[in-house]
Amino acid sequence: MAAYMITSTLRRVLLVAKHASFQSRCCVASSRVQYSTVYDSNEKTFDKILIANRGEIACRVMKTCKKMGIKTVAVHSDVDASAVHVKMADEAVCVGPAPTNKSYLNMDAIMDAIRKTGSQAVHPGYGFLSENKEFAKRLAAEDVVFIGPDTHAIHAMGDKIESKLLAKAANVNVIPGFDGVVENVEDAVKIAGDIGYPVMIKASAGGGGKGMRIAWNDDETREGFRLSSQEAASSFGDDRLLIEKFVDNPRHIEIQVLADKHGNALWLNERECSIQRRNQKVVEEAPSTFLDPETRRAMGEQAVQLAKAVHYSSAGTVEFLVDSNKNFYFLEMNTRLQVEHPITECITGLDLVQQMIRVAKGFPLLHKQEDIPINGWAIESRVYAEDPYKSFGLPSIGRLSQYQEPINLPKVRVDSGIQEGSDISIYYDPMISKLVTYGATRAEALQRMEAALDNYVIRGVTHNIPLLREIITHPRFISGDITTNFLPEEYPEGFKGHQLTSEGRRELVATAAALYVSAQLRSQRFLGNLRVSTTPQEQRQWELCVELEKGSHTVAVSRSGSTFTVEVDGVTVEVSGEWNLASALLPVTINRTPRVLQCLSRDAGGDITLQYLGTQFKVRVLSQLVSTLSAHMPEKVPEDTSSILRSPMPGSVVAVSVKPGDVVAEGQEICVIEAMKMQNSLIAAKAAKVKSVHCKAGETVGEGDLLVQLE
């Protein structure tokens, strides 16, 4: 029996092999320029690096370290003990319990892990301690190299107030606003009035969209100050805020910079990051459709000016807001590796993690500005465990019961730190992966992204693939006519999923009918033979009723081999495929058009859930007799949601603003829920009296939990 056992060492080796193919297939040289990363085995950097992070970014850093022959150390919380990044590393150290302030932000525990493992350097990834100057100081005090900029640059650019003053001094365009710290709520209202609405309230030490609010009047300024200061304190331990003019209808375009310790600095082109929700990026691309060569160069040169002004050395990102006239304004500088760095790697051929490690060791940059190409087009979709139907994405938790990345497709890259069986928990960011596609042209990259999203299998948690697919196929996005207001402008009533056309409806009905018949035929056979030997021959024609979105369709189905001809509303639809009912994917050809659907569930009663064009649709397929009888079944009365307030997401209760007997107005705040360090104010749907309160500050609640009941 021992011969069939897989040891823990072998399991780790197998997992590393699975995740070792980092050299992205999307980083392809064009016929005109050949440019790609070279890993020089003779160039000595570090023997061992500790990655002070988790998830996909920890895995991403480890892949490059292995290419460079560097051993890696993972740190993890107790709930992450079996995480992918832990298994990928050569060594792993537990640094505390699940809450981030007790583990991944626990500097004492991480410093102990560094000493215990003899790590020579630390890569912080992004988030957590990546822009914490105190952590960098503590590393320097123990002669451990921080793979990032020095503490002066972290402090200067990490403080939005100071960074704005430095940007002005470096002749970088800045947004008009108040350059000091906002002291209190009334001070915020006065400053906002002086600047002129709309204004942006944001955390001085913040990033990643946390601690940011747009205010259009005094009341919104008061609420924004309160919520932003609370988020800032929770996320960064610093509740200082600044206020500046909000540029209406802007694009968010950032410049990747790379600098060494010898005074050399490069700009590695731009990334378009305008598709956002709650100031957090959803879809990014490189290059931008909007920039001309002159504007690109001007933005790149100003980004380099700023980097040199603070003696920056590492990879960093200078973010700009760009208006419709191509005027651009400094927003902030992130002194770390960005989430969206893979798309820059695709169009330049550079491995940014390798560059950061080389610079940290003291090597000069190998390239000049004229060496940096734009080869092709890359697009990144952030795949989250989120419900896109709630505010474009409120966090979801659960276990990945089935997980299959579309890495079998050409020029597709998936940066992830999870696997089938992984848990998406309340404690950490709900990102599942970064899905990247590359093409010689933007149209090619978009086409590959569409295919990759259709072939991405995620079961067990709610995810945002429906939203991602609708974005990348939206005519306005395809044309490149986007701003940071894209989502609220295109979906003013919220995201509703893919809206079926008449043709799409027929395709879905026909496919559901064909799938139902295939399942019926399979159930009649055993070991290749019909279960009932007296049956003269297999049935080849069926009359069915298909219910979809409160509509009912009578369909006629006929079969010839693996092809079904389905008549829907007088229109003939031909559907063919392998009909492998055990497969997570359902590739079919509908009227000669290839499609990839997913059958998420089906039961003996004819209820089928299909993922079609990214969106889940519930379909019921019944025989004519059953359809007639089902009309007599009573329907479930939906719950009156105007009188109750349920938690829209899992999280913790920060504050409860009412008690039984209080009278609330429509739109009045009832409570505040914090999820993934973002605070969400929940309001009353109508004017009413509070009947009962079922939560209190500090409690953890699940999605759908009853919070407050109104009379």
Q: How many CA atoms does the CB half-sphere of 321 hold within 13 Å?
A: 18
Residues 338, 339, 340, 344: is their CA dihedral positive or negative? positive
Q: How many CB atoms lie within 10 A of CB 363?
A: 17
Q: Which residues pair with 546 in a beta bridge?
A: 553, 621
Q: Which residues pair with 545 in a beta bridge?
A: 554, 622
Cβ 352 vs Cβ 336: under 8 Å = no
Cβ 411 vs Cβ 437: under 8 Å = yes
Pairwise CA distance, residues 225 & 220, whole Å: 8
Pairwise CA distance, residues 710 & 663, whole Å: 9
Pairwise CA distance, residues 269 & 367, whole Å: 14
Pairwise CA distance, residues 528 & 394, whole Å: 47
Alpha carbon of residue 340 to chain centroid:
10
Cβ 335 vs Cβ 157: under 8 Å = yes
Pairwise CA distance, residues 55 & 430, whole Å: 10
Q: CA dist 421 to 76, 443, 601, Å?
A: 18, 35, 19
Pairwise CA distance, residues 73 & 87, whole Å: 10
Q: At what angle do helices 160-169 and 151-158 cross, to 10 degrees?
A: 100
Pairwise CA distance, residues 538 & 640, whole Å: 48
**Residues whose CB is less than 8 angstroms from the CB of residue 648 and which lie 6 or more positions away in sequence, other chains included:** 387, 390, 391, 394, 673, 680, 682, 703
E strands, 460-581, are 525-526, 529-530, 541-548, 551-560, 563-568, 571-577
Cβ 454 vs Cβ 596: under 8 Å = yes
Q: Which of the residues are catalytic? A: 336
By C-alpha distance, which of 349, 336, 337, 429 is closest to 382?
429
By C-alpha distance, which of 515, 506, 431, 443 is closest to 479?
443
DSSP 8: H
Q: What angle do CA 9, 15, 19 make, to 5 degrees?
A: 145
Q: Where do we find the tokens 């402090």?
A: 155
Pairwise CA distance, residues 203 & 232, whole Å: 6
Query: Tokens representing 177?
Result: 């606003």
Q: How many CB atoms lie within 10 A of CB 216?
A: 13
DSSP 641: G
Query: Tokens representing 368?
Result: 């000049």
Burial of residue 607 (CB within 10 Å: 0-12, 13-18, 19+) is middle
**Residues whose CB is less than 8 angstroms from the CB of residue 19 and which lie 6 or more positions away in sequence, other chains included:** 59, 63, 84, 88
DSSP 500: P
DSSP, collapsed to helix, strand or coil, labels residue 44 as: coil
Q: Provide the pairing of β-strand 700-701 with 651-656.
A: antiparallel
